[in-house]
Copies of this chain bind each other. A is one copy, B any other.
Amino acid sequence: MSLRPTLEFLLYQWLQAETLQQRPRFADHSRETFDAVLGTCERIAREKYAPFNRTVDTQEPHFDGEKVILPACTHDAQKAYAESGMLSAAQDYDIGGMQLPYTVEAAANSFFGLASVSIGSGLLTVGNANLLMAHGTELQKQVFALNEFSGRFSGTMCLSEPQAGSSLSDIATRAVPDGADYASDPLGPRYRLKGNKMWISAGEHELTENIIHLVLAKIPGPDGKLVPGTKGISLFIVPKKLVDTEGKLTGVRNDVALAGLNHKLGWRGTTNTLLNFGEGKYPVGGEAGAVGYLVGQPGKGLACMFHMMNEARIGVGMAATMLGLAGYYASLDYAKNRPQGRPVQGPKDGAAAVVKDAEKPPVRIIEHADVKRMLLAQKAYGEGALALNLYCARLVDEMHTGDAAAADEARLLLEVLTPIAKSWPSEWCLEANSLAIQVHGGYGYTRDFAVEQYWRDNRLNMIHEGTHGIQAMDLLGRKVLMENGRGLTLLAGRINATVQRALQVPRLAAQANALAGALQQVGAATKAAWATGQPAEALANAVPYMQAFGHTVLAWVWLDVALATLGQDEATAQPASQGRLGAAQYFFHYELPKIGAWLQVVSQRDPTCADFPEEAF
């Protein structure tokens, strides 16, 4: 069992990734170049990541008073990843990139998530640099972004603050102009920042020569006060060590200090920090305040940052997915090799009693129906989530390289699908990991097997980059409404197209009808939720709405994958094809019917929770 054949099926048979080479940007590519990238990443992940997944869990980052210490394997993995060129895989040839489609980049990066999700594959660094490529000045790109793509520097995103959490409108980090000449700094208008940033991943380490923080902060108005809400937020580049216009370190440490490491339940390969900006520990020119360079326009920082956050959300979805698949593969392997118990047999004398023949040797546990159920659920969750995330990646390529109409459609579909791509794997691939533990029985509860770590690592994904609740508010409160509901209409169009094709295939017709019914239910629930136009009523059950929406999207993905499977000549006789058709069937029989319970409270704008008095808890 390996990931590669599944990836290749999804990329080439389902998403037709090879057709991307018809586009000028990807003209030099072919299946051969794509496969070469996949092969390289698969090998690096196998050699430099997989053997050390437990090491990074047990050798948690620690601060020795001067430096954050990480195990040697993390340094090695980081180096190998940077040397592979994957940090700049999607960039233009003229800055050293490969002009690789994002679809293939995402597929290739999946090997690292599978092997060791928390060592990190440069997701934040690439997102940080991509943001600068989109919103930075020429010099900001050269000095910061290009050095991130090369692996010389790494990047962070600094949004949350201890007192504000997910509520960005309440951030209190202040940025004031740094001297009279502040506006004329070649690296961008120069400010001094003061404030605290919480939950900063990779916020402090010695893996790279420098760390480039992208920091949200507010520039006080003439009265010295911060503008309430998100509209006062600006974005700054705050390097850990100051650099000159050629990107060389000046030898001056910026005023960014580690205030503490967070000790986490899992995901321990990545340092997570509380950083103090401008507290005066490392004064620059004798003065407290972290030096930062404005990116884009003042007050437009959040819009720039969202550029990065959407990629980060797809990245989180992919990470959750790969943990789900890692647990699936581990428990499948265990189930194939562990002998225990005997299957139930028919009654011996017509009595409806369960009989087992103790004279026979035990069977391997994969022969038990309930173990198969737990494996098939994991397969349906993990491979379904992988398909969804690759579909979203394909939309990113369409948005960047499709014609105007297709690009606009892709943009809008991505708006609607991003909350699902992030939330659905976070919830259901976590459930998959719990099932992987269950397949192992008591052994799965010990640290001698990998599955308990997958489960712990995966619990993060419903929290970071916007919690489940925030994704749900985004979906029902914003995405399905935006542009007069055009995003939802577009998605419904794609789902209906799949339904129509599947209705022509006898063995998929029942699933097609079930999906059509589910889509109708989701549409009706969306209308009912907003029937009174009151956000407090509509959004009280936003999470159950997102759960039902997500299950419907996944049913669509599985039906479309089933169609692609049947489209292959002679394919249905192959085990892999039987596997995909069986997983699709599992999803339609066991999972999709769950949407009824979730949508009921949405449709009725059920006030049970919202109206529950605090003192009654």
Contacts and interface: CB of A to CB of B under 8 A. Distances in A.
A356 interface: yes
A481 B600 contact: no
A180 interface: no
A586 B609 contact: yes
A3 B467 CA distance: 30
Nearest to A368: B469
Nearest to A372: B609
Quick one: which of A444, A536, A614 has the most chain B CB within 10 A? A614
A222 B456 CA distance: 51
Given A332-B617, A369-B540, A447-B263, A608 B579 contact: no
B445 A265 contact: yes
A497 interface: no
Given A442-B160, A535-B344, A369 B170 contact: no
B613 A575 contact: yes
Contact of A352 (B165, B375, B462, B533): B533
A31 interface: no
A536 B442 contact: no
Nearest to A474: B354
A43 interface: no
A221 interface: no
A601 interface: yes
Nearest to A453: B265
A265 B539 contact: no
A463 interface: yes
A383 to B, nearest CB: 11
B542 A370 contact: yes
Interface residues of A, number: 116
A568 interface: no
A350 interface: yes
Q: How many copies does the complex hold?
A: 2
A463 B478 contact: no
Contacts of A538: 352
A438 B467 contact: yes
A170 B361 CA distance: 9
A297 to B, nearest CB: 20
A379 B593 contact: no
B358 A229 contact: yes
B341 A166 contact: yes
Contact of A448 (B263, B445, B585): B263
Nearest to A160: B442
B575 A376 contact: no
Nearest to A346: B534
A95 B522 CA distance: 65
Interface string A568-607: 0000000110110010011001110110110011000010
A344 B167 contact: no
Nearest to A366: B614
A163 B364 CA distance: 12
A340 interface: yes
A441 interface: yes
Contacts of A346: 533-536
A447 B350 contact: no
Contact of A265 (B367, B447, B472, B579): B447
A468 B609 contact: no
A491 to B, nearest CB: 19
A67 interface: no
A609 B373 contact: yes
Contacts of A478: 353-354
A265 B433 CA distance: 14
Contacts of A438: 462-463, 467-469
A460 B445 contact: yes
A264 interface: yes
A346 to B, nearest CB: 5
Given A464-B442, A534-B346, A586 B614 contact: no
Interface in A199-220: 199
Interface of A: 1, 160, 163-167, 169-170, 198-199, 228-230, 262-266, 332, 336, 338-347, 350, 352-356, 358-359, 362, 366-373, 375-376, 379, 430, 434, 437-438, 441-442, 444-448, 452, 455-456, 459-460, 462-464, 467-469, 472-473, 477-478, 481, 530, 533-536, 538-544, 575-576, 578-579, 582, 585-586, 589-591, 593-594, 596-597, 600-601, 606, 608-610, 612-617
| 6 nearest A-B residue pairs (beta carbon) | A229-B358, A579-B616, A593-B597, A373-B609, A369-B610, A344-B535
Given A165-B442, A228-B359, 7 more contacts: A169-B358, A263-B448, A344-B539, A370-B540, A442-B463, A445-B459, A582-B608
7 contacts: A165-B338, A229-B359, A262-B442, A370-B542, A455-B459, A575-B615, A593-B596
